[in-house]
């Protein structure tokens, strides 16, 4: 009997060893390696695509069901995604969600609650950046936490606005102000919604509650007719994903800090930066298009009607055509990470109106964005460049618009393709220049690359910043200036 038992145990042990070996062969790590990606990146992509089966389940089994069931579903699926990606580190988001609920309940609709929220949530995020930072881009719990931080700050501000007299609020503030008192389950469902938990987009509590209440549909009383619009965004996202997957081994930011890059001719270094600067954004475009499709499928992307047709762009984080064709930096900003930019405009830039200076408000808004992204110096340099470039671009546009000679030259049709090509070259070269600091993070890396191209971006735009006003003074007739004053 003992020998038989020992034989059975041995057989079970051998079977377990075989199964363990087979499982390891099928592990995400091995699959990620075969695809040339990290395991965390693969988990992220899988999680983003998981939004589609979750959305289909929601459409067919939970749409128009009791609100608490929908909140529970969103909370459970979001927490499952968090655990799949970050394991027990999901407690960071859970802690901040619960504490945020307590701040709203205990402090009420007060400025103290808003300030406490901003200080606590930003401090927690920045502490996370500090303790987890490396010299490379790592997918860790701080990635979705930065999305959550904006959500919870926006929630606190909207809750504060909900206690004000309606006439004292702007039309935009009235739209987002929360009049009721959110429950813990509502805050959790809003925070962990699977279509936006990892990489966004941003949306308000009021918009989320409309989804839960079944209001976000183009066919009242029925599930939204949004399958085709969702598939279009998914398909476009897949195109960018395939393109990025095929090209990413050949166009990398790591090459920028190599001796081979530094030893190439100056024109090559600039052209590589130009191509890389465009390409590196495709990974963000991919994620946002895929998640937008999830939001559209659930109905969260519904944005009313225009010309009798339903609009599904409420959660759009990308205007793809504008992104691919605009020759201006402001065009790229308007087409990229739309909902985050709108959030900063609504909760930071416009709230700084009391300063009485648009440039100062814009500068402080960009400083907030830089800190929100992380503590690396590269983020500060990137957003400093954005601030500088936007100011110079506005100066140049004003000069061309108000100078008769330049406006006439710009209107010559036969020269417009040439002007467009020059604009696009400048646009993407210095977009790549700005993104170099953003993607390389630490000063020893990005400063090495900037030295290799002689700080071209800083020299070019700082020179224009001081020269353009004198050119404007020389080329714009006095009568044009007087008309403007009048």
**In the structure encoding, which two tokens stand for residue 414, read together?**
């036969």
Task: Provide the token pair at 453.
Answer: 């191209």
Burial 144-180 (b: 16+ CB within 10 A, else e): bbbbbbbbbbbbbbbbbbbeeeeeeeeeebeebbbee
Cβ neighbors of 348 (< 8 A, separation 6 or more) are 364, 365, 368
CA pair distance 346, 369, nearest whole angstrom: 13
> Quick one: how many helices (H) and strands (E) in the chain?
24, 2
Q: How far apart are CA 466 and CA 276, in angstroms?
A: 29
Ramachandran angles phi, psi of 199, nearest 5°: -130, 15
CA distances from 298 to 7, 220, 378 (A): 55, 14, 37
Phi, psi of 137 (to 5 degrees): -85, 115
**Which residues are the active-site residues?**
337, 373
User: Radius of gyration of the chain from Cα atoms?
Assistant: 26
Q: 195 CB contacts (<8 Å, ≥6 apart)?
A: 51, 54, 55, 291, 294, 295, 298, 300, 315
């Amino acid at each position: 009997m003992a020998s038989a038992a020992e034989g059975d145990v041995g057989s079970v042990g051998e079977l377990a060893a075989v199964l363990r070996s087979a499982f390891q062969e099928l592990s995400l790590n091995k699959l990620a390696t075969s695809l040339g990606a990290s395991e965390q990146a693969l988990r992220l992509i899988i999680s983003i695509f998981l939004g589609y089966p979750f959305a289909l389940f929601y459409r067919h089994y939970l749409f128009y069901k009791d609100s608490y069931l929908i909140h529970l579903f969103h909370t459970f699926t979001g927490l499952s995604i968090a655990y799949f990606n970050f394991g027990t580190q999901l407690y960071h988001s859970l802690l901040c969600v619960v504490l945020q609920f307590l701040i709203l309940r205990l402090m009420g609709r007060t400025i103290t609650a808003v300030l406490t929220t901003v200080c606590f949530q930003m401090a927690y995020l920045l502490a996370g950046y500090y303790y987890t930072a490396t010299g490379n881009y790592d997918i860790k719990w701080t990635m979705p936490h930065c999305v959550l931080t904006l959500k919870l700050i926006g929630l606190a501000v909207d809750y504060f606005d909900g206690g004000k007299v309606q006439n004292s609020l702007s039309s935009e503030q009235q739209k987002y102000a929360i009049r009721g008192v959110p429950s813990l389950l509502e805050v959790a469902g809003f925070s962990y919604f699977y279509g936006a938990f990892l990489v966004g987009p941003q949306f308000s509590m009021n918009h989320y509650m409309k989804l839960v209440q079944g209001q976000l549909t183009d066919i009242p009383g029925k599930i939204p007719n949004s399958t085709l619009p969702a598939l279009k965004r998914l398909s476009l996202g897949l195109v960018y994903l395939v393109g990025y997957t095929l090209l990413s081994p050949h166009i990398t930011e790591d090459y920028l800090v190599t001796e081979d890059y530094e030893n190439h001719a100056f024109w090559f270094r600039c052209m590589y930066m130009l191509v890389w600067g465009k390409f590196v954004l495709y990974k963000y475009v991919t994620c946002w298009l895929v998640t937008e499709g999830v939001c559209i499928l659930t109905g969260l992307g519904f944005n009313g009607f225009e010309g009798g047709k339903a609009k599904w762009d409420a959660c759009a984080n990308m205007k793809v055509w504008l992104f691919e064709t605009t020759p201006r930096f402001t065009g790229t900003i308007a087409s990229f990470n739309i909902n985050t930019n709108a959030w900063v405009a609504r909760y930071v830039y416009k709230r700084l109106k009391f300063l009485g200076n648009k440039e100062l408000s814009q500068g402080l808004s960009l400083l907030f964005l830089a800190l929100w992204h992380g503590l690396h110096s590269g983020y500060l340099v990137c957003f400093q460049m954005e601030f500088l470039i936007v100011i110079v671009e506005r100066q140049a546009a004003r000069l061309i618009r108000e100078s008769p000679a330049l406006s006439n030259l710009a209107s010559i049709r036969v020269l417009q393709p040439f002007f467009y090509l020059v604009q696009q070259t400048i646009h993407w070269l210095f977009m790549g220049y700005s993104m170099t600091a953003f993607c390389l993070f630490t000063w020893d890396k990005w400063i090495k690359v900037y030295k290799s191209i002689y700080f071209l971006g800083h020299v070019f735009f700082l020179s224009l910043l001081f020269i353009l006003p004198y050119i404007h003074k020389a080329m714009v007739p006095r009568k044009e200036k007087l008309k403007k004053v009048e």
